[in-house]
Structure 1
Amino acid sequence: MGNERRFAALNTKIRVLKGNFLTNEHFIDLFNKKDVSEVAQYLKENTNYKIVLEDINVKDIHRRELEKLLKEYVLIQHKKLIHYFTDEYKKLFKTIFIRYEIEDLKLNLRNLLREEDTSDLETFIKSLKDTMYYPILKPYLNEDSRRILFYMEMNLDRLYFLLLRKNSTALDKKDSILFKEFLGKNIDLLNLEWIYRGIKFYNLIPEELINYTIQEGYEFKYNDIKVLCYCNEKEFKKRVLNSKYSFLFDTEQNIDLYMERRIERYLYFQSLEMLKKEKLDITVFLAYIHLLEYELRDLFSTIEIIKYGISFDEGKNYLIRKIEGSDIR
């Protein structure tokens, strides 16, 4: 199948699927719910998530059970697209899919590291022995407990982006360039977040910071990254404020609390624009799967917000999507 025919068919399918995205009104309604069971009931009765909830008694559903079902919904949407791809495109598709596996690993690591006893963490890492994750996690088992999660998460993200870069080189020339640009912006922002956290919270030396960054960013090349790694916190912020990513620090909000959300929101709006243009290339697919992931994250955040009784005006700041006003009913 030629590229134009492939993407014409794929874009038609995505045009249908994007009609299932939740609206801001859905999220405003969700903020009115009192607990997880009410969230599940609403999703079951009013959204396309009913396909994973229709046979579930949501009255006593637990948060983790609901989150697992919501992930299952995302996987179902992915499977609706995979048959449009062959060869290297299918290989890249499957690599993108690894993201959910890595996020699950991170969640397990965070839960295990809350315990003072690290024996469970060691057992968990050993259970990964026959996977690609074991050699990048094992070296940090004896690391200082304050830094271990930072190192492990960095290496998991680094592995993911290296796999994406490797498996995108064989795409058609146009798609390879477009993917490299989109990936490069993700790499830029991840590097900036890592370097900032490494400088501010972990006092990592510049050489160590450089070793953990990912090459082939879009705006920040190796020499730019090297300069940033040798900055102190004040110098780092100043350089970022003079870049296209100034939004990371050009704010009166708590930088450390909202940095990850700012990054995701930037990529969210980039994805919305890509989806609207409906070009006959890889961009519509990339936009759709990223928006689907961001919707899932916003649902998880909403469940968390409800759990802790956070108000709508405060809680909406934790969402990736932007909801204006305070018209909660």
Structure 2
Amino acid sequence: MNPYMAYEAMNTKIMTKNNGVFDKKKFEKLLKCDSVDQVVDILLNEYHFNQIIEETISQDLHRDDLEILFRRYEVLEIENILHYFSGPYREFLRVFLMEFEIYDLIMILRQIAKGKDSVGMDIHFIHSERNSKLPYEKLIGSKSFVQFIEHLKNSPYYVPLKTVNDRDIIKRQFHTEMKLQMLFYKTLMIKSNTLSTRDKPVVQELIGTKIDGLNVQWIYRAKKNYNISPEEMLIYSIQGGKRLGYGRLKELCYAKSLEEIKGLSNQYLKVDLFATDYEPAVVMNFDKYMNACLNDRKYSGTIGVVVSYIFKLDMIVKDLFAVTEGIRYQVPKEHLKQYLISVKIRDQRPEVK
């Protein structure tokens, strides 16, 4: 028996959440909507978004507002999960909230880079207020990158970021954002080492699969769109992948062409992420592959069930966002269905009479 995890209660909770959040019937209802107002009504009444919405929202809901709303939904779900854990398990799962802290930190940094005032932007924050200890008032008041970093002292972000000294604002922003992403996954892996011998390999396999996909996408984009050296590609590749260790990452980074990267990716990951060269499709292909991995029953009876649910939350958010934006811009429903990751909606065949 695990003293840090109320497994039976948590397992029941996750099953209930999976049946509710990933319910095909709910998505079918969403796809039948003709306006954002109708979508909002379903979000409030069937996805319980009323817990995170303080004001009435309607057709005027903008793209940025949607992203904030959906990300806060993820945060709320993770906060609710934490109640079922204690000790090293709770500390491990709390790391997932770092991702939302990082989102807010990057938002402030981008304002600083533009020379704009960050005061008042806290209404756009998505971090967990009950679990974050960062001095947000001081961070918002920062007038420079150096001042911002100094306000992060005694936080896990200080050491990685204090070494960023590039005077070029664009490059500095790039280095900062990459270091923050690397820190998040490094911390996840470190904290996973405190779990039981049963849970540790399960968790590291799930996180490692996610890391593999992020690395391939990063290397592909870096090679295709930016003037980034193979050395820098390798430096900013995340360690801890399931199939892509240091040697394979180096092969990918030093590949001579995009075609070579695609070939190596297919060979090592055993899945074709590049069926089309359209970058959003590459991301979607990996998400669908990842979703299939998360549904593997071998994680049953372990904390892998919880980690799978947290990763799948990101996919449900992408689906909700895609559907809402699609309805706003009157994208054909058949087209929208192709972009769903977390659920498969098939047209009902007419009855044969």
Q: Aligned equivalents of 1:300 and 1:184: distance in 2? A: 26
Post-superposition Cα deviations, 1:168-209, rounded to whole Å, max 9, x if no partner, equal: 111111211111111111111111111111111113211111
Per the alignment, residue 206 of structure 1 pairs with 230
How many angstroms does 1:48 deviate by?
3.4
Q: Distance in 2 between matches of 1:120 and 1:141?
A: 20
* Residue in 1 that maps onto 2:14: 14
Using the TM superposition, give the Cα deviation of residue 286 of structure 1 relative to its aligned residue in structure 2, in angstroms.
Answer: 1.0
Aligned length: 317
Contact 1:312–1:326 (Cα < 8 Å) also in 2: no
Match of 1:95 in 2: 95
CA distance in 2, matches of 1:76, 1:268: 21
Task: Name 1:246's counterpart in structure 2.
Answer: 271
2:275 counterpart of 1:255: no
- The 5-angstrom pairing of residues 1-329 of structure 1 reads 2=2, 6-52=6-52, 56-59=55-58, 62-63=61-62, 64-65=64-65, 67-105=67-105, 118-120=114-116, 123=143, 125=145, 126-127=147-148, 129-131=150-152, 132-133=156-157, 136=160, 139=164, 142-143=167-168, 145=170, 151-232=175-256, 233-249=258-274, 251=275, 253-274=276-297, 279-325=300-346
Structure 2: gaps (5+ residues): 118-141, 349-353
Structure with higher RCO (Cα < 8 A, 6+ apart):
1
Query: Could you say what secondary structure the match of 2:309 adopts?
Result: helix
Q: Please state how far the C-alpha of 1:218 moved relative to its aligned partner.
A: 0.9
Q: What is the CA–CA distance in structure 2 between the aligned matches of 1:225 and 1:173, rounded to whole Å? A: 27
The 1-side partners of 2:173 and 2:331 are apart by 27
Distance 1:179 1:12 in 2: 19
Deviations 1:22-50 (A, max 9, x none): 42332333234344333212222344334
Q: CA deviation at 1:71?
A: 3.6
Distance 1:230 1:248 in 2: 19
Q: Which moved more, 1:121-130 or 1:227-236?
A: 121-130
Q: Which moved more, 1:147-156 or 1:94-103?
A: 147-156
Aligned letter for 1:92?
A: F
Q: CA RMSD in A?
A: 3.2
Percent identity over the alignment is 26
Gaps of 5+ in 1: none
Structure 2 Cα separation of the partners of residues 129 and 306 of structure 1 = 44
Letter of the structure 1 residue corresponding to residue 318 of structure 2: R
Letter in 1 for 2:99: R
Structure 1 residue 243: Cα displacement: 2.7
- Structure 2 counterpart SS, 1:246: coil
Q: CA deviation at 1:61?
A: 5.6
In structure 2, C-alpha distance between the alignment counterparts of 1:167 and 1:127, rounded to whole Å: 27
Contact conserved, 1:154 with 1:212, CA < 8 A, in 2?
yes
Which one is further off, 149-158 or 253-262? 149-158
CA, structure 1 residues 299+142, in 2 after alignment: closer, same or farther (shift >3 Å)? farther
User: In the alignment, is the contact (CA less than 8 A) between 1:248 and 1:255 conserved in 2?
Assistant: no
